[in-house]
Amino acid sequence: MSWLLLLACDEPPADRPPNLVLVSLDGMASFRTSLDGGPNPTTPTLERLASEGVRFESAFSQSNESLFSHASLFSGRYVSELANPSYATFTVPDEAVLVPEVLGLYGYTTAAFVAGGHVKGPYGFDQGFSEYADQHDFGAMFHTVPEALAWIETAQEPWFIVLHGYDCHRPYQKAGVFHAPFGPGPESASLSDLTGTDAVYDGHVYPDFAVERIQHATGDPIVDPEGYLRIARWSEDHDGEPIDDADLEAVRNQYDAAVLAADLQLGRFLEQLDRPNTVVVATADHGEDLHEHGLFNHRALLRDSTTKVPLVIWGAGIEPAVRTDLASAIDVVPTLLGLAGAAPLGDAPGRDLLASTDGGLVFQESVLDEVSVRSATHRLVFRGVPPAFELFDLALSVAPLEGPHFALYDLRADPREQTDVLSEQPQVAAELKAALTSWRAEMKRSTTVGSQPRDPALLEALKSRGYW
């Protein structure tokens, strides 16, 4: 019997909640998936799941970076609710309540199989898990899938697992099941370099652009995230190498090949998962801009390219549906708790996606100097002040509703968010600014300042990948 029939046809026993799988396909941008109309057949597994389960057409991460986004995905809270949102110091504090801690109280055995990087246990993500396997250096689902399957063989039901991989995370050069299925890589030596895409801005590669480091409070040198903004100023006074259309498409095809690799590993996992009473929630922590706005990364901007992600809920007892209401990462925890029959976290901002169709607005915080509110039709971005700034809320409230502080995009006419329509639609902008200001004012923000892990092996791994 196929795994689709095996898992989808059996209703969960009335006296036992389902096993739960949260899949984080790190860096999978919705617009490059075939599920969302991408140009290449990258996600056959997700398409099959969507046809049998609930697909959310408009789902979003809470941030544009793995650490921040997973913090919301695991806790059901905004980053600023957990700790001061400084990229250089943020960790999930001990006082935060994560979903495995709650599920454990309801009899769930819990485990996570993550591929290292910014989702490693020392960042605070291992709280509440009976097993947290994170030994890989920016590994792939190729590594984590066999570990998860081996653990499930002897796990007491009901169980909850997190399955994670960096297959489609930059620098888009991880080995896939097939070699270059959508075409060869770029001819440009600069773009083929491990960190070459960090030196791209507005159609040009700047090989001489220096990736600078700053001193972290722990004493560790870390890559300055401001570099993603600094390259714009650099380009004004320096000549770069133009990127031709063929190389641009080649980089995107490399990315698509990595998306396919992640999707096929998910299919491998489900094919071997012999547990009928199971529900899978498959999503991603952020997307990737892929030069939609002049850059090859995800940390520089809050746009649909970097934050619109796949989201499918599928398995035992899930009826097929296509949902158009807006969904957020903060909704995943209450949804998992609802599936488990657990009480919701009373003051958490998210909603049970299977019990509510009222999507509301999506609020997002970046790792640099943007916050955003996304409605069904528009996105308003406030920029120029980092969310970690002590007087951020005051700056947001008093900033004039004009550029360069604000930008408004009409997704109906401009789905790629290329044209700022702030001056043409001031009333829409005013309404969204009021919503953004109220969201911040009503949020119970944390003053906790975390400290990044000091493990030398972890620091070296992060440094080699352009983080530390």
Give the pLDDT confidence of 32-80 residue by residue, as tens digits. Answer: 999 999 999 999 999 999 999 999 999 999 999 999 999 999 999 999 9
Query: Is 381 inside a domain boundary?
Result: no
Q: Is residue 356 part of a domain?
A: yes
Per the structure, the complete domain to which residue 274 belongs is given by 3-172+249-360
Q: Would you state the pLDDT for residue 305? A: 97
Phi, psi of 3 (to 5 degrees): -65, -25
> Residue written as tokens 């080699």?
464
Model confidence at 364: pLDDT above 90: yes
Least confident interval from 191-205, 412-426, 451-465:
451-465
Residue 383 inside a domain? The answer is no
CB 79 within 8 A of CB 62: yes
Residue 342 is given by DSSP the state: P
pLDDT tier for residue 468 given thresholds of 50, 70 and 90: very low
Token readout for 100 is 């495995």
Is position 435 within any domain?
A: no
- Whole-structure pTM value: 0.91
If you average pLDDT over residues 328-338, what whole number do you get?
98
- Domain-embedded: residue 109: yes
Question: What length is written for the chain?
Answer: 468
CA distance 327 to 348: 15
Q: Is residue 61 part of a domain?
A: yes
Asked whether the predicted pLDDT for residue 107 surpasses 70, the reply is yes
Residues 431, 437, 439, 441, Cα dihedral to 10°? -150
Count of domains forming the chain:
1
Taking the C-alpha atoms of residue 376 and residue 359, their distance in angstroms, rounded to an integer, is 9
172 touches 193 (CB < 8 A): no
Residue 463's pLDDT is: 61
Does 408 map to a domain?
no
Predicted pLDDT at 137: 74
Percent of the chain with pLDDT over 90: 64
163-177, 428-442, 449-463 — which is least confidently predicted?
A: 449-463
Domain harbouring 94, CATH code: 3.40.720.10
Within a domain: 203: no
